[in-house]
Amino acid sequence: MVEHRPWFNVLAHAILIMGVMLVAFPLWITFVASTLTYDQIITVPMPLVPGDQLIENYAQVLTAGSNKGSSAPVSTMLLNSFIMATGVAVGKIAISILSAFAIIYFRFPLRNFFFWMIFVTLMLPIEVRIIPTFKVASDLNLLDSYAGLILPIIASATATFLFRQFFLTIPDELAEAARIDGAGPMRFFWDVVLPLSKTNMAALFVILFILGWNEYLWPLLITSREEMYTVVIGIKRMIAGGDATTEWNLVMATAMLALLPPAMVVILMQKWFVKGLVETEK
């Protein structure tokens, strides 16, 4: 800022702090709730300082799930979620970077047609094709398997489109120089395109990992056995329906655990983002 007025600084900070509190307060409630006993939670008002049940609650959900809702251990669910999210993110990047490479660097019949086909599917959300996709997955015996969780959502038009846009910015001369140097197409892909796409891949990985982690509808359909639940489904199943009481302290502990891996991915990959933004390697 050009201006130096103390009251302005105070005001600016006050607004920022209010904003942060607004965003952070529900998280705090979740955390506090995950450290209380069931009886403490249902008192009105709920305490706003952490209780002493932290270790007990987390140990319980990680090993045995909830008592009254689903009793699958959350550790298994976290593992399932992690495998699914990683599989989806890595698979999407691998498939879309290769498709984009083909579309940009090869001349083949109907090239533009295929690009537009991919582009058009951008407009179709998973919900539109979920019933036929489920039918196919079920016919292929993919229900309750990691392949079933990952494969049907592994193609990404968005990622293909982003890689295509990035490849368009790589100068043609680079491909020509590689051709003269004697690199074949795949060698060029491996030695030049892939290293140049590192930061884009990192950015996409974060986005796709979180998307995969938070995927709700598809795992809900494809899994029926508790040991295949992802953590997002797990939270839902812990909330007992009907007259049964829901152990909110355990649900909140699970929610906190479900929050950690995506947050970790963002924090770890942040370094890459910054590096990618500072280094303009082109």
- Residue numbers of the site for other proteins (CB under 8 A)? 171, 173-174, 176-183, 187, 191-192, 195-196, 279-282
Q: Taking the complex as a whole, how short is the minimal distance between the CB of residue 232 and other proteins, in angstroms?
A: 38
Q: Taking the complex as a whole, how short is the minimal distance between the CB of residue 193 and other proteins, in angstroms?
A: 10
Nearest CB to other proteins, comparing residues 5 and 282? 282
Q: Taking the complex as a whole, how short is the minimal distance between the CB of residue 173 and other proteins, in angstroms?
A: 4
Nearest CB to other proteins, comparing residues 179 and 225? 179
Nearest CB to other proteins, comparing residues 1 and 278? 278
Nearest CB to other proteins, comparing residues 139 and 281? 281
Cα–Cα distance measured from residue 22 to residue 185, given in angstroms and rounded to the nearest whole number: 52
34's tokens: 């995950």
Instruction: Provide long-range contacts, Cβ within 8 A and 24+ apart, for 149-152.
Output: 149/80, 149/83, 149/84, 149/87, 149/218, 149/219, 149/222, 149/223, 149/228, 149/230, 150/83, 150/84, 150/87, 150/88, 150/91, 151/91, 152/218, 152/222
DSSP labels for 27-89? HHHHHHHTTS-HHHHHSSSPPSS--S-HHHHHHHHHHH--SSS--S-HHHHHHHHHHHHHHHH
Secondary structure (3-state) at 184 = coil
DSSP state of 126: G
DSSP state of 193: I
Q: Taking the complex as a whole, how short is the minimal distance between the CB of residue 160 and other proteins, in angstroms?
A: 23
Q: Taking the complex as a whole, how short is the minimal distance between the CB of residue 185 and other proteins, in angstroms?
A: 12
Nearest CB to other proteins, comparing residues 151 and 175? 175
Residue with tokens 């001369």: 173
Q: Taking the complex as a whole, how short is the minimal distance between the CB of residue 108 and other proteins, in angstroms?
A: 16
Q: Taking the complex as a whole, how short is the minimal distance between the CB of residue 272 and other proteins, in angstroms?
A: 14
Nearest CB to other proteins, comparing residues 48 and 180? 180
Instruction: Provide long-range contacts, Cβ within 8 A and 24+ apart, for 3-7.
Output: none
Nearest CB to other proteins, comparing residues 111 and 225? 111
